[in-house]
A and B are shown apart, each in its own frame.
Chain A
Amino acid sequence: MTNDNLLKTPPTDMDTFLKGLWRENPVFVQVLGMCPVLAVTNTVVNSVVMGLATTFVLFTSAVFVSTFRKVIPKQVRIASYILIIATFVTVADYVIQAVSLEVHRSLGAYLSLIVVNCVILGRAEAFSSKNTIGKSVLDALGMGVGFTFALLCLGVVREVLGNGTFAGIQVLSDSFEPWIVMILPAGAFFVLGGWLFLFNWLSERKKQRQAVLA
């Protein structure tokens, strides 16, 4: 519903892009796409690749959905969107395999599961199907960058604490005993909880300040 309210006052182009980074961050504010957020953020590299793949799918499906938004009848729109999204997920899957099999292996099934990531279908339905190509692209890129940023927030904390490394490079001394729980599924919940706490606390504080000023 927040999206519909926002659309009543047409935002500027810059705002369309920026809202995905912070104010409507898909992970920290909308809490969408939790499956990849929790599952693949155990290392920095996995987080970055997952974020980029999702951004690519967001971007390309936004271009397609907004291009054909007047042609696709409402009754079959979800089926068409899923078909478009699934196509680009498969494209991303092949490209990652061609670049690095190792990364493809470590992402496992989660790469194909981008198809059902609700961030993508959510943006297609809530934004791309109602807006021009230019705006949809900005929105998709903003959401993609915001999603990647959120995955990185989790990935960095989990890899550094859980393995003592950053993108495979040792950053903590050998005397540091890794918190193995951080790279296990439970660690994902701890770290996500911590970040959500921080984000909510920041936005609460901002609201209070604005209330005081007003």
Chain B
Amino acid sequence: MANEPKPFPFPQQPEVSSFKMVAVMGSVGLIASILLVVTFQLTGPRIEANRRAYLESAVLTVLPGATRFQAFRPTEENALVLVEEGEKPALQFYAGYDGDDALIGIAIEAQGQGYADVVRILYGYNPSCACVVGLKVLESKETPGLGDKISRDPAFLSNFEALEVKMSADGLQIEQEVELVKSGAKTGPWQIEAITGATISSRAVTDIIRASTEALLPLIQQNLATLEAGS
């Protein structure tokens, strides 16, 4: 083989034993995995701290007046218990407290379909006024310049400073659901004014809040004492 003339477009590869190929691939893989482990060890704590800081700032933004918060998760018997360190439940609430340990409100994460991909939001609910007190869009891929205004348009976000979500007297049902109206047509505290040119994204946020409040507020109402007591 080695002495034959080399055919032009494909130069003859020197013969290499399979063992060598496997050995080289194995060593490259070994070096790669060592590098990855080292990187993961070095950056892991920082990434975790970043995530926590992001969550903390988001929770404190949607609950104005809160200075600290605690995570709770629902149990199978519809009670709420504190989330232990390292636990990662599918659904959790963040109860925010002020300096005197009084309950300010509950931050709830919710998501739903937007115009492009899923929109994830965090909103704050204040049980004493039965209203939404803050909204932050955690993740969205809405159209830049149009739909993505849901995360920064001040007029739109002001809808969520005191958005009424009235409960029935027994605390099991929503009496007045949130509702989307055209820009400038807001008449009641349960209405959300849409952004002109971003109706679908505005409706997505409204639908997410409606569905989430419907599903979770009764649970929160029943366990208000647990949340108020804190830890």
Contact = CB atoms under 8 A, between A and B. Distances in A.
A98 B43 contact: yes
A27 B226 CA distance: 59
Given A76-B21, A87-B36, A162-B145, A97 B43 contact: yes
A42 B29 CA distance: 36
Interface string A67-105: 010011111100110011011101100110110111001
Contact of B28 (A80, A100, A178): A80
Contacts of B36: 87, 90-91
Contacts of A90: 36, 39
Nearest to B16: A73
Contacts of B16: 73-75
Contacts of A72: 24, 28
B76 to A, nearest CB: 33
B113 to A, nearest CB: 18
B14 interface: yes
B142 to A, nearest CB: 12
Interface residues of A, number: 31
A95 B43 contact: yes
Interface string B24-63: 1100110110011001100100110011001000000000
Nearest to A100: B50
Interface of A: 42, 68, 71-76, 79-80, 83-84, 86-88, 90-91, 94-95, 97-98, 100-102, 105, 162-163, 178, 180, 183-184
A102 to B, nearest CB: 8
Contact of A84 (B13, B21, B28, B143): B28
Contact of B47 (A80, A87, A98): A98
A1 B51 CA distance: 47
A42 to B, nearest CB: 7
Q: Size band of the B side of the interface? A: 20 to 34
Contacts of A80: 24-25, 28
A111 to B, nearest CB: 14
Going nearest first, the 5 A-B pairs with the smallest beta carbon separation are A180-B145, A98-B46, A87-B32, A73-B16, A98-B43
Nearest to A95: B43
Contact of A83 (B13, B29, B46): B29
Main secondary structure of the interface of A (DSSP, over half): helix
Interface of B: 13-14, 16, 20-21, 24-25, 28-29, 31-32, 35-36, 39-40, 43, 46-47, 50-51, 54, 139, 143-146
Nearest to B53: A101
A101 B54 contact: yes
Nearest to A101: B50
A9 to B, nearest CB: 21
B48 to A, nearest CB: 9
Contacts of B29: 83
A133 B29 CA distance: 21
A74 B14 contact: yes
A1 B142 CA distance: 42
A154 B136 CA distance: 30
Among A73, A83, A178, A183, which residue has the most Cβ atoms of chain B within 10 A? A73
Given A72-B24, A73-B16, A97-B47, A84 B144 contact: no
A183 B144 CA distance: 7
Contact of B50 (A73, A74, A98): A98
B219 to A, nearest CB: 30
B43 to A, nearest CB: 4
A108 to B, nearest CB: 8
Pick from B20, B28, B35, B143 the residue with the most CB of A within 10 Å.
B28
Given A88-B35, A101-B47, A184-B144, 7 more contacts: A42-B144, A87-B32, A97-B47, A98-B43, A100-B50, A180-B146, A184-B145
Nearest to B17: A73
Contacts of A163: 145
A105 B50 CA distance: 12
Contact of A73 (B20, B51, B54): B20
A73 B15 CA distance: 9
Contacts of A100: 50
